[in-house]
Structure 1
């Protein structure tokens, strides 16, 4: 990214920093060590009502170091990459390790799991946009939203941002690897007013590549359309009905599933999916596949946060849970092997059918389309789910009117098993890639 200057350090320079940190860790007597260096820079421009609100240049760098003395572990970090700065971090990590209790599960992953070689995933697409151009794009986006409908009365603004970063990880197994990636985005949020009532909504685009963001005016108009369609919202009486979660809301639903199969939740026995490996957790037509090597995808990575090679796998196949989401520590706690998920999953893709959102609504017939969820009423131990919501009431497959100030409630275990269909309107703007989801029934409470 240009902003006048490229990144201050290239990958080979960062690899040298990691190598120096590991060498100093060994000299301090550590039996094992790992280090991660990251450096990134970026630009973010926000406008509101046509005026520049914020213009931020972002430059950040850091070294994180972990030393192991047998089963004792110490962490330290620094932004000083000089020999003296690294020596200070090593001394701090060593001092912390000496004062911590032994943890039989601490340590590096097994050496044979390291990413010996890995593909170029085409993640680096610098934009080179200058501040004035970013401001102008944000202004055009917001102007398109504000000019779309006379009921648009105010704006929360529009934002254009661009980031580029390099990360290098290494450990005393002899592994050092790194990669550079970019992430660019445009977003807009506006307010509409009718009969004294106001509504707010937004839209955004996010991609590794600037030219994949689409037209900024289209993003603004989409934000305006979504805002205006919420005017005249009503409440619903309490009922049990089928529900469609719009794709970007459905991503959160799948996120709750991932949280329930994470190693930390499992070894703490704080998950409603404890001991569900090999069990039916979704309908038979559903497969959830982790695809870490998709070119240019936002969640792609050649290795995880511990240098373990990432690989494609079915987390759920034909509705049956095939594997958990583990790093090396949680895997040892569970008597298992890491799944290469230190730092999270990489491009979890939910299989989908051939219906678009409109098709899902026709399939549902009468029920609720949820386009916004509010609050965090989720009990991960029991799976009980209750959240504030807004969206649209649907009859005979057609949207009838907007609804607001309602609550949707159920149990996540039942909700996952009760998925009737997943739409082909797959949202690619995040690490979880899913279409809209039709659930057979939830309790909807309002008046």
Structure 2
């Protein structure tokens, strides 16, 4: 059913047990002693720091450290979840007993349960998810914010600022289960953003730029973040109204990932099993134009959505979710796979206070062959969207309607800014009439190049 790519980074054996892993192993024993048939536990330990400045003055300085533990227990076909920040042995014994008591009191769930041993990940790739630097100081982060905002305010036409923010975080994750699984990894993360305004009075326009990365060296230079934010804001000045028409619409790569995000929701196994997805009957059929590929790659080095194993201890791998336009797989955790009578795909994610659910990792639309200029060169009249407003997507029917702003396309060129527009269509038709450009950039966990969609309805206000 699913197409997987066997190419993956070098793999390593599971690490030796750490103190946190020993704690989880003890918790498994206490849960079994309390009457659980099976159990799993997730430990998360994180630290972060965030600063911001506006108009040259520091506005925010936040720092946090914390750890949390979530326990899931099974009594027959019943399950319960509890979490705690108290890690003393006495507290955890009580936690396990309370969880078992809760499980005995809830209704049966025929699809719950941990993974059988034969499905567990035995080793996993080193994905370089921690840059191992010392935590940055508040001063160094503030310097990044200052450089970004200063660069934005230096752009001619910028008149005010919403500020710039820089942050850092590092999270350690350990998962243990009574089926014998034990694994953990650490992830670091940096982010930098800036938002400014251009123009005066009622003619002011706002725009932004941002960058996120696992490693500091992969973060966009602060001056570039600021210059982009300023340039984008100034370009939006003096917008015009757009006519009501049915024309080609182009989504800039800064916002095109949202379209791929709608696909991710539609192929989530839970939605498919409930019959609430507009693609529920499209498996193995063409849902995009020929040549289009959409991939989910949990093994991307330094990827913002990368993970060596999933939240149920299953191995992860690269999938061509859409291959040559054809939908090849659902995103399945164990419960969704059991509901659909299919094999799980290793897409489970979870927090410490609830059950796993399917989700993507590094989800992206593969780049096309045309540059952006070539993509729009034959459009006599059309819309180039750089910003979307509101949320008007029906996941059951695929109906799509969003507020938008951007630029009018005239004779193959971006001609003038436009705002106060609504674009509408149906995602099934939009996907089939989508053409990707060649400017794919990995900025988040869901990414797409600039895309062109034929025949959307444009309504000016």
Q: CA deviation at 1:33?
A: 0.4
Residue 423 of structure 1, aligned match among 421, 425, 437: 437
Q: CA deviation at 1:80?
A: 1.4
How has the CA–CA distance of structure 1 residues 30 and 398 changed in structure 2, closer, same or farther, with 3 Å as cutoff?
A: same
> 8 Å contact 1:169–1:178 — kept in the other structure?
yes
Residue 233 of structure 2, aligned match among 227, 240, 256: 227
Q: CA deviation at 1:92?
A: 2.3
- Whole-Å separation in 1 of the counterparts to 2:158 and 2:368: 36
- Is residue 148 of structure 2 the alignment partner of residue 133 of structure 1? no
Where does residue 451 of structure 2 map in the other structure?
Answer: 437
Where does residue 215 of structure 1 map in the other structure?
Answer: 221
Where does residue 262 of structure 2 map in the other structure?
Answer: 256
How has the CA–CA distance of structure 1 residues 91 and 363 changed in structure 2, closer, same or farther, with 3 Å as cutoff?
A: farther
Deviation per CA, 1:341-398, whole angstroms, max 9, x where unpaired? 1121121232222323233222545311111111111111111000101110011221
> 8 Å contact 2:115–2:179 — kept in the other structure?
no
Query: TM-score, normalised on structure 2?
Result: 0.92
- Whole-Å separation in 1 of the counterparts to 2:131 and 2:330: 32
- Whole-Å separation in 1 of the counterparts to 2:438 and 2:90: 55
Residue 307 of structure 2, aligned match among 301, 304, 309: 301
Deviation per CA, 1:43-62, whole angstroms, max 9, x where unpaired? 11111111111101121210
Q: CA deviation at 1:195?
A: 6.6
> Which stretch shows the higher mean deviation, 323-332 or 362-371?
362-371
Where does residue 406 of structure 1 map in the other structure?
Answer: 421
Equivalences for residues 48-197 of structure 1 within 5 A: 48-127=54-133, 128-149=135-156, 151-194=157-200, 196-197=202-203
Where does residue 354 of structure 2 map in the other structure?
Answer: none
Deviation per CA, 1:312-350, whole angstroms, max 9, x where unpaired? 121111111110011111111111121111121121232
> 8 Å contact 1:364–1:438 — kept in the other structure?
no
> Which stretch shows the higher mean deviation, 135-144 or 406-415?
135-144
How has the CA–CA distance of structure 1 residues 11 and 199 changed in structure 2, closer, same or farther, with 3 Å as cutoff?
A: farther
Q: CA deviation at 1:181?
A: 0.8
- Whole-Å separation in 1 of the counterparts to 2:94 and 2:204: 55
Runs of 4+ in structure 1 displaced over 6 angstroms? none
Query: TM-score, normalised on structure 1?
Result: 0.95
- Whole-Å separation in 1 of the counterparts to 2:178 and 2:201: 66
How has the CA–CA distance of structure 1 residues 363 and 41 changed in structure 2, closer, same or farther, with 3 Å as cutoff?
A: farther
Q: CA deviation at 1:214?
A: 2.9
> Which stretch shows the higher mean deviation, 194-203 or 58-67?
194-203
How has the CA–CA distance of structure 1 residues 330 and 54 changed in structure 2, closer, same or farther, with 3 Å as cutoff?
A: same
> 8 Å contact 1:291–1:313 — kept in the other structure?
yes
Q: Per the alignment, in what secondary structure is the counterpart of residue 204 of structure 2?
A: strand
> 8 Å contact 1:11–1:168 — kept in the other structure?
no
Equivalences for residues 3-82 of structure 1 within 5 A: 12-82=18-88
Where does residue 333 of structure 2 map in the other structure?
Answer: 327
Residue 384 of structure 2, aligned match among 366, 369, 390: 369
- Whole-Å separation in 2 of the counterparts to 1:207 and 1:277: 34
- Whole-Å separation in 1 of the counterparts to 2:208 and 2:90: 48
Q: CA deviation at 1:99?
A: 1.1
| Count of residue pairs brought into register by the alignment | 436
Q: CA deviation at 1:196?
A: 3.8
Aligned CA-pair RMSD? 1.4
* Larger relative contact order (Cα-Cα within 8 Å, sequence gap ≥ 6): 2
- Whole-Å separation in 1 of the counterparts to 2:221 and 2:17: 33
